[in-house]
Structure 1
Amino acid sequence: MEVPSRSSSEIPQSRYTAIIVSVVIFLLLTSGVLITSIYNSLKIRDLRAGTALSANLRSDIPRLTQEIYLLNIMRAQEQPTPALDLQVDKITQLTEQVDKVVTTLTEGGKVTIRSDEDVYKPSTQSDQVEYVQGTLNLWTPYKEEAISFVNAESAVEASDLENRFGQATQGIYDNATGLTDSISTENGNRAGFLRNLQIFGISFAIIYFIIFVLYFVRRLKASDEELISARRETQEIMETVSTGLFLLDKDLNIGQQYSRALTKIIGADKLAGENFANVLRGRISDKDLTTTRQFIEQLYNPRVKERLVDSLNPLHKVMLHDTSADQGTDSRFLDFKFSRVYENKEIARILVNVNDVSDAVYLEQRLEKESAQNDMQIEMLTTILNVNPKVINEFIANTKSHIDKMNNVLKNPGSSQFELEGKLNAIYREMHSLKGEASALKLHSFTKISSDAEDKLSALQNQGKLSGNDFLPLAVHLDELLSLSNTIETLGARINQGAPVPVSSVQSTTVPVTIDAPVVLAAATNPSVNRTLDSADSMDTGLSNRINAQDTSDAHLLPFYQNFVTEIAARQGKRVQLNGDSLSHVVIPAHLKKAVKDISIQLLRNAVVHGIEDINTRTAVGKPATGVINLELKNEGQNVIMTLQDDGQGINFESIRDKLVTMGRFSAEDASKIERNELLRQLFSSGFSTRDSADEDGGRGVGLDIIKAQVKEYDGKLNVNSEFGKMTRFVITLPAA
């Protein structure tokens, strides 16, 4: 919004206009007097130089004639040659000296007077021009005769010398005398004019001062009274308005005038002349403070539209922290509105209007929270209505099992870095498993809380040294997850009143188990060769909340897994088909249901994210655009065997080497020497991922770690077989007993 300047701001311009005009006139007249004085002083200096030249000419021309007569006498007396040569030199020097004077009078040039040096400019007055021209006309033949006489060797008659030099000498002397008189007259006139001009200038200055004191000071007094009246009115307005009003200059300094309400809203007593950034420092974040500086700079940029930049206002409903000691840490929400103030179409200042909108913001937050809760309940109801009740019941039971396990891990003391890292990895695996199942059910509230927790866990992994206090914030996330789990359980119970509700009140018990299960890995270059990866890890696993239901068919898992795969593929820009007919026939033992589901979810996500290529890559290498994943479950003797195979790009061992170097786990030289079975061991380690960035579906390096932990927990076996560019197959064997 453009705000024109007030009429009171125009008072200084109007009251100073007359003063400025009078001062300009005074300066112009003074400058005229000064310039005229300087001009006449320079002319007087030229006249002084002209007087000196004419005086030199009057003295030099008779001397030159006398020296010529003397040379003639010496020749008649036949004096020695050295004496004659000396006289010739004297005549030559005098000739050159007179010639230089005549030339300077005619053309101008430098004239030395005592120790000063003036520059003479030829006169433009007619009488002086006539004298100079007459001198030049007489001197030219005189100089030629003098040179001719000097070059001759014999004496001449005195009458001849008189005819040749006498008349010219008298003429040059008379012209020089006339020039001197004319210059003296002009010099006197100019000196008198300069004196009169100085008297006028002094008189004018005195008269101007008297007029200024009597007239302009009186006008200034009247204008000051008008300004005081306008300022009083402005002050009354500023004390009455209920919003905070103040002006900002380009340097973010607050103006002298601001509303009384501003001190209450901002929480500071003295604001006049304070820097706006200093007032906000410590009350808002440094990022918002920097953005505010840049925002106000753009407001002062005339090329930026005010409406456009207003949408970028960083202080719209901003939280202002109260740092005063008497008010504790109370905070309020303030809304700052910025408007340009123009003077003569130029942006002069920024008008800031501040309102305390805390009540409105709190109401808005409450409505948003209620809306979010409603959306969450609708999301949960949608899931309950569209998903097999058995899947929902399993999810609730698994969620509480994961939360119980994480609680138990948090309760276990740990002092050494090894123990704390073990706690961190165990919690990370449980949280990632919970997020995977929630993501499969499209429960975005669960997924969001789990992702936030994973971000904190990832930060803890990267910070290096751990302490027990680092785990305290995780309790908040666990509480939120448990609350959501209870909500969905209650909603499910109301809708499916006839369906059995899973037992959720059973207290979990922790049984310390040490597992050293072999993980068998097959190298890509030789699928028939198996290598054993012995795990040195020992962890306490809480085997709790098992669903003591009878073994029944798990046919409901196939559509659940297929929807899960389709959702991930869509987010990753891929097309994937999941085949798993065996799920409709196999019976999974009750105590393995959770493990099979956790492992299946992680394997499917890993296959879609890391295994199956995008459509363009597959078609470029001659593969069908749609990738295929085959999931097979079967009971074989005393074991349950899970096989998952995809027709994707396989395991890229060189990519694993490069990532190990990038993460700093190995040097480039050491990484090049690692065997493939050790590379697979690293692939299954906590926090390792070949992706450069993490998202909801992968990149955190936890999925394969979960699979390894589950296999270890149930004393199973893991076999990996991969052919680069063709396929990857996971075979997991879990004891049924």
Structure 2
Amino acid sequence: MSTRFQFEFGKYRGILISVALFLLLDASVLMLNFYVSFEIADDAVGVNLAGRQRMLSQRMAKSLLVLDSARDDPAAFQAAYDELLLSKSLFDETLQAFSQGGSVRGAGKEMVMLDAVTNRAGRDALHNTEQLWRPYKIAVDNFIASRSANTGELTGDSQTALAAAVAMARLHNLPILASMNDLTISLEQVAASKAKRLRLIQTIGISLAVINFLFILLHFIRQLRDSDAVIEKARRETNEILQTVNEGLFLIDHQLIIGEQHSAKLSEVLGNQSFAGKSFQTLLENMISEKDAETARGFIELLFDPKIKEKLIGDLNPLSEVEVNIAQANGGFLTKHLQFTFARAYQEREISHVLVTVLDISAQVKLARELNESRKHNESQLEMLTSLLHTHPELLKEFIHNSFQCFNRINSILRQPAKSATAVRDKAVNIFREIHNFKGEAASLKLEFFENTAHAMEDTLAQLRTKPELSGNDYLGFTVQLENLISYTQQVQLLTEKLGQFALVGNSAPRVLSSQIIKGNRRSDGWEHLSDFVQNLALRNGKQLRLVSSGLSEIDLAPECEQQLKEICIQLLRNAVVHGIETPEERRLSEKSPIGRIDLRLAKLSDTEMELTVSDDGKGLDYQAIREKALGSGKWSEQEIESWSNKQLLGLIFQAGFSTAQELTKDAGRGIGMEAVMQHVIGQRGKITVASRAGEFCRFVISLPIIPRTTEIPTSATKGSAYAVTDDC
């Protein structure tokens, strides 16, 4: 650092010395100006007071003459007497100040400092004045003393003293006036000489300053010429670099304004346009969303903050890979993928600019996406094959069969004519219910590929449900997803047919699954997968639990009825795991076993009726959370909600789109699971009873008719309530 300073001092030594001399000269002239100006100001005071002395001598003579002529007029006499006292006092004080120096009352009655007169003419004038003033003053003092001794009355002695004073005034007034005039002239001459000296100093100072300025100017022009040559050489080299680099390069300042220089590649990357002096944020807003541009602006502002380490925020770059739309001359847009990188530029250890590098990575992104799609396709094939190997062959065939039935129902919903906006929106609700049941069955069989695909389709339907104006064309994106899902399901069907092991049951010869009753291990396997489903849900939600089931394989049901019962079980088990059972930590705080328990029981009440019970020892229904969620929906007023009973609140959990989940996950937050349960129960003319106690348990009891295999499932619902509530909170 020291070497750098010495080098710069040597480079600019001549101009620095010249500037220093210029400043020193200006300071010296300024100090002399101040000094002489103060002296001239003091001399001006002296000239003014010398002029006042002439006036005071006249006033004293006038006062004595008035006193002599106004003896019979007390008022005039007293006024003249007061004037005499004041004039005599001021004249004497000022005369002594001129001679010896000191403070005296000025023209404005303020006290001013008066220096003693030192010039010869002035001293001579003062000496003459003092010689004349001394007897004059004695005569005046005698008169004043004689009048004071006689309490202000004019006695014979006073008249004699007054006459003597008047005679002295007539004798010395004009000589004193002449002497004071000489004093005034001498003081004016001194002031004039100082003013002349001040003008001389200023003339010399200005002349030297002009000469010094010309020297600085010539020296500066010479250095400027040399510097211009260096700068021009550097500019040519910089232009060569900017013309040849294969990246878009430019600088932005603290206000995010683009600098004057940029690489030629920038016009190719961002399109032919003017960049110099343009706002970088405005440039971004023309290519990406305003929100993303604002995020980029916040990141760049962090780069200008010297307190923040550049390496620590490198990963926060929101433009490391961004898709942009660049306007074209023909009115269209060109889509590219760009990579912006930012680096600080310093001047004198201060952050002056940020260097922006722009790369067109469209080809790389396209290749990466193709590779990623290929990898995902291979992974999905492997994932699908792996999940198939862990699924019971008969359950898998049932799943495929049920899936195609689900797809047919969805296609029927899509094909139904909709003459109103409400009918178009109802399609999304009905399809949502079908997809949710499909996802639940896939999750119960641990077919994650189908579960994830169904979850993505739910996302699409959720967007459609919230769209203000919905039309049939808005379902096109969903139909593409549905076609892909059907294609994958067909691939699974073909794969199972090619793998002979999926056509075997035990050690028997191959046979095709028919509608005959499945007995033995197949009957048990038809329900045992629910245990794996529950454990998988618990693991995904950070919980521990044990499922205790009974009676699931003891009632012979029609395939459609059995499938609907499974869907009810899946939704209720999911609800118990996600909303009912607490985490191990929460259970310990409630003095419970860290391992929760869910009881799933199916019992035959009569030849025509069965009862499904799903109970958990969790925290029970949270009516306050239900109330707050209802209030947050904006559908009901606060007064109305506060007046509801627990039974009325309970009815909300069976409404489509209602969920008390804090966030949307693969297992909760859609608000469709319990609504699907209600639809199944209503469709079979069943009944739901709910019992709950805060912090202890929640139990769902569903009564359903037993539908043998030879009996059709009823499709219409009975009127009236399909649920009841018992709350022991």
Aligned: 1:57 with 2:49? no
Counterpart of 1:663?
633
Alignment of 1:484-499 (within 5 A): 484-499=488-503
Unaligned runs of 5+ in 2: 506-512, 712-729
2:91 equivalent among 90, 98, 122 = 98
Summarize deviations over 1:240-270 as a string: whole Å, max 9, x none. Answer: 2222221111122222221111111121242
Aligned: 1:123 with 2:115? yes
2 CA distance for matches of 1:626 and 1:391? Answer: 29
| 1:50 positional shift | 0.7
Moved more, 138-147 or 595-604: 138-147
1 CA distance for matches of 2:566 and 2:647? Answer: 27
Aligned: 1:151 with 2:148? yes
| 1:475 positional shift | 1.2
In structure 2, the CA distance between the partners of 1:20 and 1:571, relative to structure 1 (3 Å rule), is: same
Counterpart of 1:724?
693
Question: Which secondary structure state, in structure 2, belongs to the residue aligned with residue 583 of structure 1?
Answer: coil
Counterpart of 1:632?
601
| 1:428 positional shift | 0.8
Aligned: 1:550 with 2:486? no
In structure 2, the CA distance between the partners of 1:615 and 1:235, relative to structure 1 (3 Å rule), is: closer
The answer to whether the 8 Å contact 1:551/1:589 transfers is no
The answer to whether the 8 Å contact 1:449/1:480 transfers is no
Counterpart of 1:646?
616
Counterpart of 2:103?
107
The answer to whether the 8 Å contact 1:299/1:340 transfers is yes
The answer to whether the 8 Å contact 2:250/2:355 transfers is yes
2 CA distance for matches of 1:102 and 1:716? Answer: 130
Moved more, 554-563 or 643-652: 643-652
Counterpart of 1:339?
343
| 1:427 positional shift | 0.5
Moved more, 57-66 or 629-638: 57-66
Summarize deviations over 1:458-485 as a string: whole Å, max 9, x none. Answer: 3333445533233222113213322333
Summarize deviations over 1:133-192 as a string: whole Å, max 9, x none. Answer: 999999999797675345244335569967999999999989967864663343133122
Aligned: 1:702 with 2:694? no
2 CA distance for matches of 1:178 and 1:443? Answer: 125
In structure 2, the CA distance between the partners of 1:547 and 1:252, relative to structure 1 (3 Å rule), is: farther
In structure 2, the CA distance between the partners of 1:169 and 1:445, relative to structure 1 (3 Å rule), is: farther
2 CA distance for matches of 1:571 and 1:709? Answer: 27
In structure 2, the CA distance between the partners of 1:110 and 1:320, relative to structure 1 (3 Å rule), is: farther
Alignment of 1:60-71 (within 5 A): 60-61=56-57, 63-64=59-60, 67-68=63-64, 71=67
Aligned: 1:565 with 2:534? yes
The answer to whether the 8 Å contact 1:646/1:729 transfers is no
1:89 equivalent among 76, 82, 104 = 82
Question: Which secondary structure state, in structure 2, belongs to the residue aligned with residue 438 of structure 1?
Answer: helix
2:245 equivalent among 230, 241, 247 = 241
Alignment: residue pair count: 677
Alignment of 1:682-697 (within 5 A): 682-697=652-667
The answer to whether the 8 Å contact 2:564/2:680 transfers is yes
2 CA distance for matches of 1:58 and 1:14? Answer: 66
Question: Which secondary structure state, in structure 1, belongs to the residue aligned with residue 666 of structure 2?
Answer: coil
| 1:48 positional shift | 2.0
| 1:702 positional shift | 0.7
Query: Taking every aligned residue pair, what percent have the same amino acid on both sides?
Result: 31
In structure 2, the CA distance between the partners of 1:265 and 1:418, relative to structure 1 (3 Å rule), is: closer
2:291 equivalent among 287, 290, 302 = 287
The answer to whether the 8 Å contact 2:611/2:701 transfers is no
2 CA distance for matches of 1:234 and 1:598? Answer: 71
Counterpart of 2:485?
481
Moved more, 423-432 or 694-703: 694-703
Question: Which secondary structure state, in structure 2, belongs to the residue aligned with residue 721 of structure 1?
Answer: strand
The answer to whether the 8 Å contact 1:684/1:708 transfers is yes
The answer to whether the 8 Å contact 2:250/2:357 transfers is yes
2 CA distance for matches of 1:250 and 1:146? Answer: 88
2 CA distance for matches of 1:18 and 1:488? Answer: 89
| 1:410 positional shift | 1.1
In structure 2, the CA distance between the partners of 1:703 and 1:192, relative to structure 1 (3 Å rule), is: same
- Structure of higher RCO (CA pairs closer than 8 Å, 6+ residues apart): 1
The answer to whether the 8 Å contact 1:145/1:164 transfers is no
Letter in 1 for 2:528: P
Counterpart of 1:523?
none
1 CA distance for matches of 2:62 and 2:502? Answer: 153
Summarize deviations over 1:113-144 as a string: whole Å, max 9, x none. Answer: xxxx9995433776799999999999999797
Question: Which secondary structure state, in structure 1, belongs to the residue aligned with residue 503 of structure 2?
Answer: coil
1:458 equivalent among 450, 459, 462 = 462
In structure 2, the CA distance between the partners of 1:679 and 1:38, relative to structure 1 (3 Å rule), is: closer
Counterpart of 2:510?
none
In structure 2, the CA distance between the partners of 1:492 and 1:99, relative to structure 1 (3 Å rule), is: farther
2:571 equivalent among 602, 614, 628 = 602
Scaled by the length of structure 1, the TM-score of the pair is 0.79
2 CA distance for matches of 1:242 and 1:354? Answer: 10
2 CA distance for matches of 1:592 and 1:560? Answer: 18
Counterpart of 1:46?
42
2 CA distance for matches of 1:583 and 1:159? Answer: 148
Aligned: 1:396 with 2:400? yes
2 CA distance for matches of 1:719 and 1:82? Answer: 125
CA RMSD, 1 decimal: 4.3
| 1:441 positional shift | 3.7
Moved more, 438-447 or 133-142: 133-142
| 1:305 positional shift | 1.0
Letter in 2 for 1:727: C
2 CA distance for matches of 1:380 and 1:27? Answer: 87
1 CA distance for matches of 2:585 and 2:548? Answer: 23
Alignment of 1:337-376 (within 5 A): 337-376=341-380
1 CA distance for matches of 2:249 and 2:8? Answer: 23
| 1:433 positional shift | 1.1
| 1:27 positional shift | 5.7
In structure 2, the CA distance between the partners of 1:689 and 1:577, relative to structure 1 (3 Å rule), is: same
Letter in 1 for 2:655: S
